[in-house]
Structures are given as structure tokens and as C-alpha cells.
Amino acid sequence: MNRPNTLILSAGLVLSPVLLTAAEWVRLTVDNAYVEIESDSVADAASHLQAVADRLAWWHAAAYLDLAYIAAWALALLAIAVVVGRTRPVLAALSGLLGLISTLGLAMHWAFYYIPLGSLAQEADRDLAARAASASGDDRLLAIALLMFLLGTLLAVVGAGVGLWRAHALPWWAALGLLIWLGYVVAGMEARPAALLNLALLLPFLAVARRLAPGKEPVAEREPTPA
């Protein structure tokens, strides 16, 4: 792999956890400001829209950061597939497929989440906007997007971890960072300080970045020669 390609993929590995952390921190600044009303979907949507309207600049900043994260995430997963593919091509293909699903899911979530809420929060007729926002969750396409976003991303990270482990490219400290991140995602914590746990992904991603450097390619395992 030449130096420009290495630098681009390494940038994706380093920037994706940082951009994810920043995007989540800014998003939670807005989302934690609204009170959920589970008994009334329209009132709940109105509360959310009010929080977005009151912090519209923050909402837009979170959207831009999240969009940049998606691009960096795609590069990071591609880098993992490259490293795994040097010794485990089948696992690399599976990791790449899961990475594609994850990236598409992230993009669909971005489009369905940030754009409608940002647009509806600026509507003069807040009651009509709240009804529109509350009705958007009934679409089957949104359910598919959420499945690709949540399950696809979780499986992509698990698949990447298994591939890196089988390729002997996942040291113990990198595996620890991966486990911390997976625990955070499964726990579903929504507090702003908890968003910092996304930085745990830097550990496995830095391990991959080291493998991308020239001269760091692992040697493929060979089958023993029959006697």
C-alpha cells in the first residue's frame, strides 16, 4: 500500500472516534434538553422540536459532525478490511459487507433524524409540525434504516474485531478498547459524559493504523507440509 492511501485510511481510523464523540456530545446537548412524554406522541414530538428550535445552531453542528463521522467511519472500516484481508480474505469480505451495511445505516439514520427535525423545528405552525414529526416513526423504511444503523453497526464492529483477532492484528489493549465501546453501546447510555467512551475505539483503530504502515504487513500462516 502506498503512502497516500495509508495516510487517508489512517486519518479515517483516527478521526472517526473523535468525530463520533464530538457529534454525540453536541447532539445530547439538544436531546437531553427535552422532556419525553410517552403517553402522548404528538406532545412528545412538540417537546423535542422545541428543544431543537431553541438550540438550532447546536443541532446543525451535530448534523455536520455526524456527516463527517460517517465518511471517516467508512474509511476506518475499509482500513480494517484491508488489514484483515492480508491473511483472512473470507473474514475481510464479511467485515467489508457488514461495514457497508453499517455505513448505509448511518447515512439513512442521519437523513431521517437530523433533516426532518431541523426542518420541522423551523415551521411556524408548531402543532402541524409536531403531528408530522410524530407520524414519521410509522414508516417501514425508517424501521429498516434503524435496523441497519443499530444492528448493522454493532455487527460490523464485532465482525471487525473477530477478523482482526483471527489475523493476529488485535493486541490485548486494543481488544479492551473494543469491549469498552461495545459495553457502552449495549448499555445505551445517553448522558453527555458517557459519550467520551466512544474514544475507546481509538485503541483498536490505532492498532489497525500501525498495521497499515509500510513494513507492518503480517505474514500469512502456512499449512504444515505433509511428511
State the first-to-last Cα distance of the chain, in angstroms, to the nearest integer: 37
Quick check: is 225 in a domain?
no
- Say if CB 101 and CB 59 are below 8 A apart: no
In a domain, 220, yes or no: no
- pTM score of the predicted model: 0.86
Q: What is the dihedral of CA 61, 62, 66, 68, to 10 degrees?
A: 20
Q: What does the pLDDT read at residue 215?
A: 57
Q: By residue range, what is the domain housing residue 201?
A: 3-212
Is the Cβ–Cβ distance between 165 and 175 less than 8 Å?
Answer: yes
> Per mean pLDDT, which range of 35-44, 51-60, 164-173 is the poorest?
35-44
Domain contains 224: no
Q: Which three cell numbers mark 161? A: 474485531
pLDDT digits (tens, 9 = 90+) for 88-146: 999 999 999 999 999 999 999 898 889 888 888 888 777 888 887 777 666 677 778 88
Domain count along the chain? 1
CA distance 87 to 163: 10
Q: Does the residue 157 lie in any domain?
A: yes
